[in-house]
Amino acid sequence: MLFYRAISYIFHPILFSTIASFLYFIILPTHVSDESERVILSIVFLATYVIPILLVFFLKRFRLIQDYHLKTIGERKFPVLFMTLLFFLLGKLLLEPGFVDLLAYSFFGCGIGLILVYFLFPLRIKASLHTLSIAGLIAFVCILSYQYELNLLALIIALFMLFGIIAVSRLKLDAHKDLEVYIGFLIGFISQLAAYSIFLRYQI
């Protein structure tokens, strides 16, 4: 179980936005200046990693949640809404410079995904945020590959393998049912494609 717990911590959902942004700049190394890269990565890390940690700490400190892992649907509702708003604000912020539009729309995709997750709560479905996050990253890399005509097949295969490891870890830890793992993947992938379709519409 220690291995599965380590996987769940190492590849925690709040890390994937920073990972996606980092990969974006690696895949497109001449796209923006080094200074702009550092600024954007810092903003993304602060907004999607530091702030969520502080939020959960605050909720636990004032006993609004019982567990840092947000195991129940009730405990997930406010953090999911908060992160939805944060993702849309971050996407809007990144649109302003005008040179990382595709990255900005990926955050809109994250927001769309979390909205779908929230809509499933009344059905007592707790979609896996771990598989949602890795699926979103896979879709984003596929989009980059298509948009810029790059051969990223090896990276995509590696990410699918990582998805398998993460999915098994969540199931072994009894954190989710099988359906919740698969739903998380579908939401993460489809939400990025939806955001990309919006991106294409506004770019024409």
pLDDT in tens, 114-159: 999 999 999 999 999 999 999 999 999 999 999 999 999 999 999 9
Residue 96 φ/ψ, nearest 5 degrees: -60, -45
Number of helices (H), then strands (E), in the chain = 9, 0
Identify the DSSP state of 119. H
101 close to 203: Cβ distance less than 8 angstroms: yes
Q: How many domains does the chain have?
A: 1
Sign of CA dihedral 150, 151, 153, 155: negative
Dihedral through CA 140, CA 93, CA 113, CA 171, nearest 10?
Answer: 70
Where on the phi/psi map is residue 180: left (φ > 0), alpha (ψ -120 to 50), or beta?
A: alpha
- For 126, the domain range is 2-203
For residues 41 and 47, give the distance between their C-alpha atoms in angstroms, rounded to a whole number.
Answer: 10
Q: Are 100 and 94 in contact (CB under 8 A)?
A: yes
Distance CA(102)–CA(123), nearest Å, equals: 33
- pLDDT tens across 147-195, in order? 999 999 999 999 999 999 999 999 999 999 999 999 999 999 999 999 9
pTM comes to 0.95
